[in-house]
Amino acid sequence: MTTIEHVYWVFAAAAALVLVGIASSLVARRFSAPLLLVFLVIGMLAGADGPGGIAFDDYSGAYELGSLALAVILFDGGLRTRLETVRRVLAPTLLLATVGVMLSAVLTGMAASWLLHLEPAYGFLVGAVVASTDAAAVLFLLRAGGLQLRERVGATLEIESSANDPAAILLTMMLVEYVTTPAGLSPLALLREFVVQFGIGSIAGVVGGGAIARGLNHLQFGHALAALFALAGAVLVFGITGQLGGSGFLAVYIAGLVVANRVRGGLSNLLGTLDAATWLCQIAMFLVLGLLASPRALLTWLLPALGVAAFLMFVGRPLAVSACLAPLRRYGKREIAFISWIGLRGAVGIFLASIPMLAQLPNAQLVFNVAFVVVLVSLLVQGWTLGLAARLFDVALPHLESTVRRVELDLPGSLERELVGYPVAAQARVLAGAPLPSWSHLTLVVRDGAILAAHEAGALQIGDYAYLLAPPGRVYRLDWLFAPPEQAREAERELFGEFTFDADVQLGEIAEFYALPVRPRDASLTLAEHFARRFEHTIEVGDRVHLGAVTLIARDLDDEGVRKVGLKVDRLGTVLARPRWLQQLLPPGRRR
């Protein structure tokens, strides 16, 4: 076969695998199967031991391809995370990403040494390889499944899975070095490398993300070129950070986070365009990893590998998570239990298992096979029960996939506003008199093919297309006004909270009921006065005040200030049951 013919065959085979994976995913959705598992299994079937018969053992190439794919996935994950959410869970996620990974590695390593009859060094190597949760699996399964978790729980899982790779990579590299040259490892070297990985990765992510955001804000791109610019910039940040000795995975996630919170327009279009790239990266990564596996070799060590997977899921991960989160007292038992269970393993574990293969260690094939089984079991068991666990531990919010067709258009010359359009469907809240926020402005209405100015159109009607000017970072807050009734109620609750109070309710009453940290001199203030002091004359609908376990949200304004205040419960537990007794606390007409 000539070189040209070989290239044709490779391209055709790769495309065929992708098409088979996409077609299989449609069937898998009917059975709620994790789509990543489908692609992994298809890769295995296409491999040397499967019907496909494709011989593939290029661990170096697979690691390089997988690293690039994971960088794109992490960047996309950062783009979808709000900076405010990161600030609220920064301490616990850093604990999980460092101390949690090390505890998981040590505990699982001891179990692996006993189950696999390995020397302690190789047992700990197995533990280090499977210690970190996989950002690709966590981010993808949460979003692909349409599961909406409570804010703190979802943010903790997403950020932990994105930030814990450096610790796992560091542990794996150090253990490989120890196995090859035992005298080359010291606690000081471990600590120094750890600080370098996190420090350089964090700085590079902030600087690189700021540069990408600046380019998107000031250069005139179309939607496709803007996405390509952002994607190329993210890969550049990933590569440079790795060359400098930092964690490229951490850097690219932080870069996405910075871009999401600094870009001034077109973020929705950017995310929509990047979706295809993220899907392709997921498919390619798991197909290639599936090709590397040999089902016959996996069966040889299947039973002890299943024991390692079971220990990690039911003992190692729960103990590590509890040790990190329980002392903080901000996480309830159900939250800790859910975070412990959803410790999804994925591509990162298999990538790390390829490092011993590249170093040609004596037991490298055993480490790879065990890691592969652990990943399969994690995707099959934990991935398949993701929704069930969220409902069982009461950390999921009712969620329907939004059918609101929002259109966002950048306005050349303006970085503070963008034009956003919505179809006005029957029973939309805006038709029932729900007011538009003060920071949005209705500019034109398309009705029966005619373009009307806002003053010409008058009240909105069913079938209209409404176009509004709004700040880019607040556009999503308009969705509940135009969504179908069921989705509107959920979107409204997510934005304004579970309860609504008149603004003349005293802060002390709310504080006493929810055990909130309020200063005695502020207890006599009404909610309206409290917001007025906090925001002075700049208060707008949606402004928030965090008080302990709840968030107060400005829901409705009049000429004098806040008129209605929403209350959103952030902490699970007894505080969720207390509203049943709210009838006894406040007189009629002062709560909803």
CATH at residue 287: 1.20.1530.20
Q: What pLDDT score does 449 carry?
A: 84
- Listed in sequence order, the residues at least 6 apart from 14 whose beta carbon sits closer than 8 Å to its beta carbon are none
pLDDT-flagged residues of the chain (< 50): 398-403, 572-592
Residues 97 and 15 in one domain: no
Domains identified in the chain, total number? 4
553: Cα within 13 Å, side-chain hemisphere: 20
Q: What is the DSSP letter of 56?
A: -
Residue 490 pLDDT: 63
Kindly state whether residues 506 and 371 are assigned to the same domain: no
Can you give the residue range of the structural domain that contains 425?
A: 407-492
pLDDT of residue 580: 39
Q: What is the pLDDT of residue 315?
A: 94
- Report yes or no: 247 and 201 within 8 Å, Cβ to Cβ: yes
My answer on whether 417 and 379 are in the same domain is no
3-state secondary structure of 524: coil
pLDDT for the residue 402: 46
Q: Which pLDDT score is estimated for 399?
A: 47
State the pLDDT at residue 238.
93
Based on the fold, state whether residues 226 and 352 are members of the same structural domain.
yes
Q: Are residues 515 and 373 in the same domain?
A: no
Residue 564's φ and ψ, nearest 5 degrees, are -130, 145
Residue 579 is predicted with a pLDDT of 42
Q: What share of the chain is helix, strand, coil (3-state, %, to 5)?
A: 65, 10, 25
In 10 A of CB 590, how many CB atoms?
Answer: 15
- CA dist., res. 267 & res. 410, Å (int): 10
At residue 258's C-alpha, the angle toward residues 133 and 250, to 5°, is 30
For residue 545, give the CATH number of its domain: 3.30.465.10
How far is the C-alpha of 582 from the C-alpha of 575, rounded, in Å? Answer: 12
Q: Could you give the CA distance from residue 377 to residue 381 in angstroms, rounded to a whole number?
A: 6
Domain boundary among 492, 516, 542: 492
Residue 36, domain member (yes or no): no
* Contact assessment for residue 130 and residue 175, using Cβ atoms and an 8 Å cutoff: no
Chosen domain end from 339, 364, 396: 396
pLDDT at 486: 60
Residue 232 lies in a domain: yes
Distance (Å, whole) CA 78 – CA 473: 15
Q: Quick one: 454 and 362 in the same domain?
A: no
* Domain end (from 333, 366, 396): 396
Q: Are residues 234 and 326 in the same domain?
A: yes
52 found inside a domain: no
Tokens representing 470 are: 């709004």
- With contact defined as beta carbons under 8 Å apart, do 148 and 396 qualify? yes
pLDDT in tens, 303-345: 999 999 999 999 999 999 999 998 876 788 888 999 999 888 8
Gap between the Cα atoms of 530 and 507, Å rounded: 8
Same domain membership, residue 172 and residue 292 = yes
Q: Looking at the structure, tell me whether residues 252 and 391 fall in a common domain.
A: yes
pLDDT in the model for residue 211 = 93
Clarify whether residues 488 and 501 are in a common domain.
no
Nearest to 160 by CA among 340, 280, 326: 340
In terms of C-beta density within 10 A (0-12 exposed, 13-18 middle, 19 or more buried), how is residue 567 classed?
Answer: buried
The total of other beta-carbon atoms located within 10 Å of residue 382's CB is 22
What is the spatial distance between Cα 318 and Cα 521, in angstroms, rounded to a whole number? 43
Domain with 423 in it: what CATH number?
A: 3.30.70.1450
Q: Does 315 lie in the same domain as 217? A: yes
Task: Decide: 338 and 332 in contact? Cβ < 8 Å.
Answer: no
Q: Is residue 47 part of a domain?
A: no
What span, in angstroms and rounded, lies between the C-alpha atoms of 469 and 414?
11
Tokens of 79: 């783009």
Residue 425 covered by a domain: yes
**pLDDT for res 304:** 92
In a domain, 591, yes or no: no
What's the pLDDT at 405? 62
Report if residue 50 sits inside a domain. no
Cβ-defined contacts of 191-199 (< 8 Å, 24+): 194/98, 194/166, 194/167, 194/170, 196/245, 196/246, 197/166, 197/169, 197/170, 197/245, 197/246, 197/247, 197/250, 198/166, 198/246, 198/247, 198/250, 199/246
Residues 558 and 423 both lie in one domain? no
Q: Which residue has the tokens 């503070």?
A: 416
Spatial separation of the C-alpha atoms in residues 377 and 554, rounded to whole Å: 46
